[in-house]
């Protein structure tokens, strides 16, 4: 009798240990835009891949539309460790990792393939390592898209048309300096506040990739879209450094690979949105200005670009421009 009780006790104890080892660790990741977006597909894919690649030992809860705060708040939370993961545009990132500022220089990239080649190549991969010292593990570069300008006042075909327009900008020092150089009255603002600010006329316009303009339904509060293509906007998967370091080696690989899978589908969605966006937004009543004088924009930014060359080093900017 005692022996059978001992066996039962041992089996219960072993069962408890097995259950403990099989427990699922749940983490959180957030975006500031809607789930049905290029960013939504990035984090949904990431979450699915993490669960699959870790055999269900890790699950990632996904939060959308600023449910856990704007991009800057989410990045702060990841740095502090109160949130494990975030997916963000590079908008607020230079406030935490100054080396990334260089990526936000206007008209730096020829097109999306050029930008992707830079981010996936030695320059981009070296920049990922700069996050380590700031309390982050940068898992992978992804994409926000090529930024264009919208406003509720007038056609914008050349930089002089921007003079005096009050535009929401990201909380990003490079963007703010460049847009001031174009005569814009800059109003830095977290993304979850933007729709209401446009609706109420607190600001006249904003600038974002077509993917964001569509998913945020800015066509409801903006009349004019100018295809300025003035900045390529990367995005990034970041994780709290201490949380990443606690992972077993195989799980670290699983998280990085899951982020790369998320990036693949994220970029494909950006390409899809760019292909259909103009037609879609015209159908919703927006006036789309395609004949933008980009040469004039570049010329007007010459003094600001001279400052950027001093700040980042001409050789560094030229190295990015030279990537094939």
Q: What is the pLDDT of residue 5?
A: 53
pLDDT in tens, 98-126: 999 999 999 999 999 999 999 999 999 99
Q: Does 9 score more than 70 pLDDT?
A: no
Maximum Cα–Cα distance across the chain: 93
The answer to whether the CB of 266 falls within 8 A of the CB of 38 is: yes
The answer to whether the CB of 197 falls within 8 A of the CB of 189 is: yes
Crossing angle of helices 249-283/38-53, nearest 10°?
Answer: 160
Q: What is the pLDDT of residue 308?
A: 96
As a whole number of angstroms, the distance between CA 52 and CA 45 comes to 11
The model's confidence at residue 171, banded by pLDDT at 50, 70 and 90, is: confident
Q: What is the pLDDT of residue 155?
A: 96
CA 321 to chain centre: 22
Q: 189: Cβ–Cβ under 8 A, 6 or more apart, which residues?
A: 168, 169, 171, 197, 203
Strand 166-169 versus strand 85-89 pairing type: unpaired
Is the full-model pTM beyond 0.75? yes
Number of separate helices (H) and strands (E) present in the chain: 13, 9
Please report the DSSP string for 236-262 in residue order: EEEEEHHHHHTS-HHHHHHHHHHHHHH
Q: Report the SS3 class of residue 146.
A: strand
Q: What are phi and psi of 312, to 5 degrees?
A: -105, -15
In 3-state terms the chain splits into helix, strand, coil percentages (rounded to 5) of: 55, 20, 25
pLDDT mean across residues, the chain: 94
Q: 17: Cβ–Cβ under 8 A, 6 or more apart, which residues?
A: none
pLDDT in tens, 10-49: 444 444 443 344 699 999 999 999 999 999 999 999 999 9
Domains of the chain by residue range: 2-321
Q: 11: Cβ–Cβ under 8 A, 6 or more apart, which residues?
A: none
As a whole number of angstroms, the distance between CA 265 and CA 47 comes to 13
The fold adopted by the segment(s) 2-321 is D-Maltodextrin-Binding Protein; domain 2 (3.40.190)
Among 4-8, 104-108, 284-288, the range scoring the smallest mean pLDDT is: 4-8
Q: Does 7 score more than 60 pLDDT?
A: no
Beta bridge partners of 29: 62
Crossing angle of helices 314-321/302-312, nearest 10°?
Answer: 100
Q: Is 205 left (phi over 0), alpha (psi -120 to 50) or beta?
A: beta
């Amino acid at each position: 009798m005692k022996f059978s009780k001992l066996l039962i006790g041992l089996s219960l104890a072993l069962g408890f240990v097995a259950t403990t080892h099989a427990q699922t660790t749940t983490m959180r990741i957030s975006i500031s835009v809607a789930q049905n977006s290029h960013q939504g597909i990035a984090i949904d894919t990431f979450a699915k891949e993490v669960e699959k690649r870790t055999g269900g030992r890790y699950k990632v809860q996904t939060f959308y539309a600023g449910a856990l705060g704007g991009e800057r708040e989410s990045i702060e939370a990841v740095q502090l460790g109160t949130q494990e993961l975030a997916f963000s545009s590079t908008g607020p990132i230079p406030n935490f990792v100054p080396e990334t500022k260089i990526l936000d220089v206007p008209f730096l990239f020829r097109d999306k393939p050029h930008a992707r080649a830079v981010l996936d190549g030695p320059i981009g991969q070296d920049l990922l390592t700069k996050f380590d010292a700031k309390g982050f593990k940068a898992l992978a570069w992804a994409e926000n898209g090529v930024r264009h300008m919208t406003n509720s006042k007038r056609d914008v075909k050349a930089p002089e048309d921007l003079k005096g327009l009050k535009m929401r900008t990201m909380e990003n020092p490079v963007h703010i300096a460049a847009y001031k150089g174009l005569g814009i009255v800059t109003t830095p603002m977290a993304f979850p506040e933007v729709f209401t600010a446009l609706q109420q006329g607190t600001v006249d316009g904003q600038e974002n990739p077509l993917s964001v303009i569509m998913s945020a339904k800015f066509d409801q509060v903006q009349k004019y879209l100018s295809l300025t293509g003035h900045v390529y906007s990367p995005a990034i998967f970041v994780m709290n450094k201490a949380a990443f370091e606690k992972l077993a080696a195989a799980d670290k690989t699983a998280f990085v690979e899951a982020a790369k899978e998320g990036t693949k589908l994220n970029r494909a969605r950006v390409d899809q949105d760019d292909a259909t966006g103009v037609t879609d937004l015209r159908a919703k009543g927006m006036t789309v200005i395609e004949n933008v004088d980009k040469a004039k924009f570049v010329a007007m930014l010459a003094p600001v670009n001279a400052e950027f060359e001093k700040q980042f080093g001409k050789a560094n900017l030229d190295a990015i421009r030279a990537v094939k």
